[in-house]
A and B are shown apart, each in its own frame.
Chain A
Amino acid sequence: MTDSSSFPGLQQALTACKNLFAHVIRVSDCVPQHVAFIMDGNRRWAKKEHVEVKEGHNAGFHSMSRVLELCYESGVSTATVFAFSIENFKRSPIEVDSLMNLARNGIRQVVQNGEMAEKHGIKINVIGDRSLLPDDVIKEIEAAESITRNNKRAVLNICFPYTGRDELVHAIHQVVQEVKNGDYKSTEVNETIIDDNLYTGHLPPVDLLVRTSGVTRLSDFLIWQVSRKGVNIEFLDCLWPDFGTIKMAWILLKFAFKGTFLSVDPDLEDSERGEEAYLKKSK
Chain B
Amino acid sequence: MDKIQERVLEATIADTDVGQGKQEHIPPPTNSKNNPAKPSLYNMTATAEIAMLKPSGNDAVEAKMKTSSSTWAKSSNKLEYLFYKTLLTILYMIYACVRYAKYQYNRTKIQILNLAYSPSNTPQLIRQDVLKFQKLPKRLATILEFKSEGDVGGGLGGLINDGSELVTWSISAGIKHLTLYDYDGHLKKNVDEFRKGIHHKLSKYYGPSNVPKFAIRIPQWNKVYFNLPGTAPSDPDSKKVALEVSLLSNRDGRETIVDLTKTMADLCVNNEMKLSDITMKLVDSELTQLVGPEPDLLLYFGPSLDLQGFPPWHIRLTEFYWEEDNDQVTYSVFIRGLKSYSTCKINVGK
Contacts and interface: CB of A to CB of B under 8 A. Distances in A.
Interface of A: 20, 23-29, 75, 85-91, 164-166, 168-169, 172-173, 175-177, 179-180, 186-187, 189-191, 194, 215-220, 223-224, 226-233, 235, 253-254, 256-258, 260-262, 264-265, 267-271, 274-275, 278-279
B275 A173 contact: yes
B115 interface: no
B6 interface: no
A175 B258 CA distance: 10
B46 A229 contact: no
B233 to A, nearest CB: 35
B313 A165 contact: yes
B348 A172 contact: no
19 contacts: A24-B87, A164-B312, A172-B278, A172-B283, A173-B275, A186-B266, A189-B258, A194-B257, A194-B258, A216-B340, A219-B317, A220-B316, A229-B29, A230-B306, A233-B306, A257-B95, A262-B36, A264-B54, A265-B36
Given A165-B284, A191-B254, A217-B317, A227 B309 contact: yes
A252 B85 CA distance: 16
Interface stretch (B57-65, B133-141, B192-200): B57-65
Contact of B320 (A164, A166, A216): A216
Given A191-B258, A223-B312, A278-B45, A216 B321 contact: yes
Contacts of A87: 348-350
Given A176-B264, A189-B262, A257-B95, A29 B54 contact: yes
Given A26-B60, A180-B275, 8 more contacts: A165-B313, A169-B280, A179-B265, A220-B317, A227-B309, A253-B91, A261-B37, A268-B36
Contacts of A256: 88
Nearest to B46: A268
B316 A223 contact: yes
Given A172-B261, A189-B258, A194-B257, A224 B312 contact: yes
Nearest to B55: A29
B224 interface: no
A66 to B, nearest CB: 20
A105 B309 CA distance: 38
A195 B213 CA distance: 42
Given A216-B320, A217-B317, A260 B348 contact: no
9 A-B pairs with the lowest CB-CB distances in the bound complex, closest first: A87-B349, A275-B42, A261-B36, A179-B265, A186-B265, A227-B312, A27-B84, A223-B312, A227-B307
Contacts of A91: 349-350
A264 B36 CA distance: 10
A189 B318 CA distance: 28
A140 B99 CA distance: 45
B85 to A, nearest CB: 6
B36 A229 contact: no
B319 A216 contact: yes
B214 interface: no
Contacts of A229: 28-29, 183, 306-309
Interface in B85-124: 85, 87-88, 91-92, 95-96, 99
Contacts of B36: 257-258, 261-262, 265, 268
Nearest to A267: B46
A257 B99 CA distance: 11
Contacts of B309: 227-229
B18 interface: no
Given A25-B88, A90-B349, A189-B265, A223 B313 contact: yes
A24 B262 contact: no
B43 A260 contact: no
Given A29-B54, A191-B254, A274-B46, A177 B349 contact: no
Contact of B279 (A20, A169, A186, A274): A169
Contacts of A88: 349-350
Contacts of A261: 36-37, 43, 47, 50
Contact of B92 (A26, A179, A257, A265): A257
Interface string B60-81: 1100000000000000000001
Contact of B40 (A20, A166, A172, A275): A275
A267 B305 CA distance: 24
Contacts of B350: 87-88, 90-91
B280 A166 contact: yes
